[in-house]
């Protein structure tokens, strides 16, 4: 079994949790396009696992004229100050320094695509400070991009660099950042409280009648919790009776007092509903899900998904318009440190 990606064995009270004693991951999704009445998505081949997300698209401009549209990928926003909190973080966020913490990359017709980057800064929503990931960006607090960039905020999640920048500001600027909420007083002094939103984009030409193949990939940031199955969890991931029985059996085996193991639930979210930005439904959609270890368990809400190998499952759809996003639950064994 793989090593756990977070160390979490006590109740956590300050986290956006996916279950008891858990930490929410950062769901991400497919490419977003400017709405087009001519560009068709002929095929989408999506691969999901705990360690990698890969997507291959084939587009065709069915119109009589060439089109040029913005293609974008929104990283889930992340607050660098969260790394100083006293709750466990997914390892990808604990180690994050570069703004491209998901290692997002794209190719067009097999060639690497140069990406533009838009970086914006927001405060958490004061009425819903627990919002996490893309939900935090959908309903953020005040935007503070102009203020922070005007003061030369480092474009990084490196806390040492951020603290050094803050300490070097004039006293009036440090006070202003505290007053507006971009920084807050913590046990070890002022800490950044702002959210960093990073959006990668490029302008793509679609010539009339021509096929364009786009590939993108990134490393997902998963949520996680120790074993606890609530009715909400069962509904979210469509856990059926057979899967629940297998989960309980595995839990009983590894969570005995004399065994230094525990059952880890980790979840992966992928936004599918951005498919509504092109013409018509997806011609052929194929999902390949790899649980990576034959002994692990997996559950999700997906009609027609079939097991094709010891670790892989496949779902195929034709002329399909997604109405819901994908959320996948992985169950595996972690070892106490």
pLDDT tens string 81-105: 876 654 455 666 666 678 888 889 9
Among 193, 221, 250, the domain-final residue is: 193
Whether 180 and 217 share a structural domain? no
CATH number of the CATH domain containing 51: 2.60.40.3680
Q: In the prediction, which pLDDT does 10 show?
A: 24
Tell the burial category of 245 from Cβ atoms under 10 Å away from its Cβ (0-12, 13-18, 19+): exposed
Shared domain check, 182 and 54: no
Whether residues 170 and 74 share a domain: the answer is no
Average pLDDT over residues 263-287: 84
Contact call for residues 123 and 141 (beta carbons, < 8 A): yes
Q: Tell me, yes or no, whether 181 and 326 share the same domain.
A: no
Identify whether the C-beta of residue 58 lies closer than 8 Å to the C-beta of residue 43.
Answer: yes
Partners of 327 in the beta sheet?
Answer: 269
For residue 123 the two structure tokens come to: 């405060």
Considering 134, 162, 193, which residue would you say is the last residue of a domain? Answer: 193
On whether residue 10 sits in a domain, the answer given is no
- Using CA atoms, how far apart are residues 329 and 84, in angstroms rounded to an integer? 27
Residue 226 contacts residue 6 (beta carbons within 8 Å) = no
**Domain identity same for 297 and 265:** yes
Q: How many domains does the chain fold into?
A: 2
Q: How far apart are CA 256 and CA 275, in angstroms?
A: 46
* Same-domain pairing of 227 and 94: yes
Residues 54, 90, single domain; the answer is yes
3-state secondary structure of 174: helix
Give the whole-number percent of the chain exceeding pLDDT 90.
50
Question: Would you say 57 and 278 are in contact if contact means Cβ atoms under 8 Å apart?
Answer: no
Is 177 found in the same domain as 52? no
> Does the residue 167 lie in any domain?
yes
Give me 83's structure tokens: 């790394």
pLDDT(153) > 60: yes
For residues 150-165, one letter each, b for 16 or more C-beta atoms within 10 angstroms of the residue's C-beta and e for the rest, the string is: ebebeebbbeeebbeb
Q: End of a domain among 135, 159, 193?
A: 193
Q: Is 32 a domain residue?
A: yes
Torsion of Cα atoms, 105 then 141 then 236 then 272, to 10°: -40
13 in a structural domain: no
- Grouping H, G, I as helix, E, B as strand and the rest as coil, residue 252 is helix
24: left (phi over 0), alpha (psi -120 to 50) or beta: beta
Looking at the structure, tell me whether residues 182 and 306 fall in a common domain: no
Please measure the distance between the N-terminal and C-terminal CA atoms of the chain and give it in whole angstroms: 14
For the chain, where are the E strands, in sequence order?
A: 22-23, 28-29, 32-33, 39-48, 53-61, 67-74, 105-108, 111-112, 116-122, 183-186, 189-192, 195-206, 211-218, 223-226, 261-271, 282-290, 297-300, 306-307, 312-320, 326-335
Single out the residue of 96, 115, 106, 201 nearest to residue 155, CA to CA. 96
Same-domain check for residues 158 and 274: no
Q: Residue 14's pLDDT is what?
A: 27
Whether residue 9 lies inside any domain: the answer is no
241 sits in which H/E element: helix 241-254
Is the pLDDT higher at 164 or at 20?
164
Of 13-22, 81-90, 113-122, 166-175, the one with minimum mean pLDDT is 13-22
Indicate if the pLDDT at residue 207 is higher than 60: yes
Contacts of 292 (CB under 8 A, 6+ apart): 2, 49, 50, 51, 311
56 with 179, same domain: the answer is no
User: Is 12 among the domain residues?
Assistant: no
Nearest to 166 by CA among 182, 144, 180: 182
pTM of the model as a whole: 0.82
Structural domain of 186: 148-193
Instruction: Tell me whether residue 11 is in a domain.
Output: no
The DSSP call for residue 138 is H
- As a whole number of angstroms, the distance between CA 264 and CA 262 comes to 6
217 part of a folded domain: yes
Query: Which two three-digit tokens encode residue 208?
Result: 């009339």
Residue 176 has pLDDT above 80, yes or no: yes
Do 327 and 317 share a structural domain? Answer: yes
């Amino acid at each position: 079994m793989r090593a756990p990606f977070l160390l979490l064995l006590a109740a956590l009270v300050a986290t956006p949790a996916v279950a008891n004693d858990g930490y929410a991951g950062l769901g991400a999704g497919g490419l977003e396009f400017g709405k087009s009445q001519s560009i068709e998505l002929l095929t989408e081949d999506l691969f999901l696992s705990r360690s990698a997300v890969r997507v291959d698209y084939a587009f065709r401009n069915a119109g009589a004229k060439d089109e040029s549209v913005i293609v974008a990928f929104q990283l889930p926003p992340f607050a660098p100050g969260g790394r100083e909190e006293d709750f466990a973080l997914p390892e990808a966020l604990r180690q994050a320094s570069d703004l491209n913490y998901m290692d997002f990359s794209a190719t067009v017709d097999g060639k690497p695509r140069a990406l533009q980057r838009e970086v914006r800064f927001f405060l958490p929503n004061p009425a819903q400070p627990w919002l996490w990931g893309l939900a935090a960006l959908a309903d953020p607090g005040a935007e503070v991009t102009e203020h922070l960039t005007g003061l030369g905020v480092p474009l990084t999640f490196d806390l040492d660099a951020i603290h050094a920048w803050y300490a070097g500001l004039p006293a009036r600027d440090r006070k202003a950042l505290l007053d507006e909420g971009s920084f807050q007083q913590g046990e070890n002094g002022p800490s950044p409280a702002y959210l960093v939103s990073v959006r990668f984009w490029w302008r793509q030409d679609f010539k009339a009648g021509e096929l364009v193949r786009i590939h993108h990939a990134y490393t997902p940031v998963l949520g996680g919790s120790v074993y606890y199955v609530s009715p909400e969890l069962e509904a979210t991931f469509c856990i059926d009776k057979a899967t629940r029985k297998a989960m309980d059996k595995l839990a009983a085996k590894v969570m005995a007092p004399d065994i230094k193991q525990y059952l880890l639930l980790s979840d992966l979210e992928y936004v599918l509903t951005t498919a509504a930005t092109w013409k018509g439904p997806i011609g052929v959609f194929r999902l390949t899900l790899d649980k990576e270890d034959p002994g692990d368990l997996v559950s999700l809400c997906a009609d027609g998904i079939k097991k094709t190998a010891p670790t892989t499952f496949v779902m195929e759809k034709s002329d399909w318009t997604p109405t819901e996003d994908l959320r996948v639950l992985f169950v595996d064994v972690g070892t106490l440190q």
